[in-house]
Structure 1
C-alpha cells in the first residue's frame, strides 16, 4: 500500500508564529501561495516579538502595497535603513536570551536578504527557518507554477493537490468553514485540519506572550525543545 502524501498550502509570512511551522512539520510538501491578494495588516510582511514583556510589531515596509495586488507583484521599500532599525530592535530585545548567539545570525541573514520582490524575500526567510529547524518538508517555491489562477477557493486547492498527486490536504484550523471534506473525498483526497499547540515557556525575567514570531521561541528554547513544540500539534 502506497504511503499517504500530505500537502499544505499557505501564504508566505514574515517569521510566522510556531503554529505555521507546526503545519509545515506535519506535511511532506508545503506550497507557498504567493499569487493571491496581499492582505493589509495581516502577517505577510510583519510579526510580533517580545519587547520588555509586551508584544511589539516589526514590519517589512513595502512599495504601493494594496489588497488589489498579488503578493508576488509587490516590492520591498528600497531604502536600507529599515533593516538596521529592525535588527537593532531584535538584538536589544533578545541579547540575554540563551540561544541568542545561534539564532541572531539566522535572523540577520533573513532580514538583510537582498531580494527586492516580496514573495522572493519571504520564500528565502521560510526556507532559512525550515533549515534551521531541521524540517525535511519540501517547499514548493510558488503557486504560480500550477497555472490555475482562474480557479478560486476550494477548487484551486483541490487542483493543486491533484497536480501534486497528494492524498491528504492539511489546512490550518481557521479553514474549517472554507472547505468541505466531502468535496475533497469526491476527488480521492482526505481533508485534515491542524490544531496548533502553543506551549508556554520561560522568557527569563520577561512575561511569556503567546503567539509571537518563531523568533521568540527559537531565542528562548534549546533546539530540542523547539522540536518538541513543532511535533505536539494534532490533526483532526
Structure 2
C-alpha cells in the first residue's frame, strides 16, 4: 500500500494534492508539535495588486509543545475575515462567483472540529473531493496513540500499523533528512520523493507566482480543470 505520512496543512498548495493523488492512504500526522508560522496554520493567496498575503488560522493559546491534535481553534470570525480577503483580491477571478457559496462553507469551522487537525483534515477532504480525488485518511493518533522512540522508529511504527509498503512524501522533507531511505529500504519500504514542477496557469495580479494555496488555481481556472493542471507538474523519484 502506497502511504503518505504528513500533517494536514491549511488550504494546501498544488503539490499536496499531487501527493494525495499518488497514494492509497494518507496518514494525517496529528501527533507532532504545532509549528507556528508553518503551513499547518497558514497559507498564501495572491493580492490583486501583486504580491501575496497570508491567511492564518487563529488558535487558542497553548504550551509550545502542544500537538496538532490538541491545538484548539480560537473563537471568533477569523474565517470570515479570510473569506473577505479572498473576495477582495479575487473579485475579478473568472470562477469566484461560481465557487463563492462553496468556499464560504469550506472555510467555516464545524461544531465537531474544535481542533486544528480536524479542521484542516476536513478542508483537505472537501478540496480533494471537489477536484475529483478519492482520498482515504487515517489519523496517526488512531494508529499509534502514544508514539515513542526516535523519529524513524515512530515513522516505521506508523507505516506498519497502516499496512504501508512504500512511503511517498515531499521533496523538502526528504532533502532535510527527515526520512532514512536506507533504513526504510532494509525493511522493504521504498521512499518516493516528490519532484514537483509547478505548472503555470491563468492568474490575476501580474507576474505568475507559484506555490500558493490551491484556492488560487480553483478561482482562476475553475475546479473542472484544476486536477488536470495539478497533474501536469507531477514528477517522482525513488530514493
CA–CA distance in 1 between the matches of 2:106 and 2:12? 13
CA–CA distance in 2 between the matches of 1:131 and 1:152? 35
Deviation at 1:207, TM superposition (A): 3.0
Select between 203-212 and 46-55 the one with higher mean Cα deviation. 203-212
Q: Tell me, yes or no, if structure 1 residue 189 matches structure 2 residue 167.
A: no
Cα distance change on mapping 1:67 and 1:229 into 2, 3 Å: farther
1:57 match: secondary structure: strand
Q: Tell me, yes or no, if structure 1 residue 132 matches structure 2 residue 133.
A: no
Structure 1 segments of 4+ aligned residues over 4 angstroms from their partners: none
State whether residues 40 and 67 of structure 1, in contact with CA within 8 Å, keep that contact through their aligned partners in structure 2: no
Deviation at 1:45, TM superposition (A): 1.5
Cα distance change on mapping 1:65 and 1:230 into 2, 3 Å: farther
Deviation at 1:189, TM superposition (A): 1.0
Q: Deviations over 1:1-32 (max 9, x none)?
A: xxxx2110111111011111111111111111
1:185-224 paired onto structure 2 within 5 Å: 185-204=185-204, 206-224=206-224
Pick one of 48, 58, 61 that aligns with 1:61: 58
CA–CA distance in 1 between the matches of 2:60 and 2:204? 38
Equivalent in the alignment of 2:108 = 112
Compute the RMSD of aligned alpha carbons. 1.7
2:31 match: secondary structure: coil
Cα distance change on mapping 1:8 and 1:51 into 2, 3 Å: same
Equivalent in the alignment of 2:234 = 233
Equivalent in the alignment of 2:96 = 100
Pick one of 5, 9, 16 that aligns with 1:9: 5
State whether residues 106 and 128 of structure 1, in contact with CA within 8 Å, keep that contact through their aligned partners in structure 2: no
Deviation at 1:220, TM superposition (A): 0.9
State whether residues 29 and 138 of structure 1, in contact with CA within 8 Å, keep that contact through their aligned partners in structure 2: yes
1:215 match: secondary structure: helix
Tell me the TM-score normalised to structure 2 length: 0.89
State whether residues 131 and 224 of structure 2, in contact with CA within 8 Å, keep that contact through their aligned partners in structure 1: no
Select between 166-175 and 197-206 the one with higher mean Cα deviation. 197-206
State whether residues 78 and 116 of structure 1, in contact with CA within 8 Å, keep that contact through their aligned partners in structure 2: no
Q: Deviations over 1:85-121 (max 9, x none)?
A: 2211111111221221333333211221223221111
State whether residues 199 and 230 of structure 2, in contact with CA within 8 Å, keep that contact through their aligned partners in structure 1: no
How many matched pairs? 230
Q: Deviations over 1:52-81 (max 9, x none)?
A: 2211111111111453111111111112x3
State whether residues 38 and 65 of structure 1, in contact with CA within 8 Å, keep that contact through their aligned partners in structure 2: no
Q: Tell me, yes or no, if structure 1 residue 145 matches structure 2 residue 146.
A: no
Deviation at 1:206, TM superposition (A): 3.5
Select between 38-47 and 112-121 the one with higher mean Cα deviation. 112-121
Which structure 2 residue ranges, 5 or more long, are not aligned?
none
Select between 155-164 and 185-194 the one with higher mean Cα deviation. 155-164
State whether residues 26 and 135 of structure 2, in contact with CA within 8 Å, keep that contact through their aligned partners in structure 1: yes
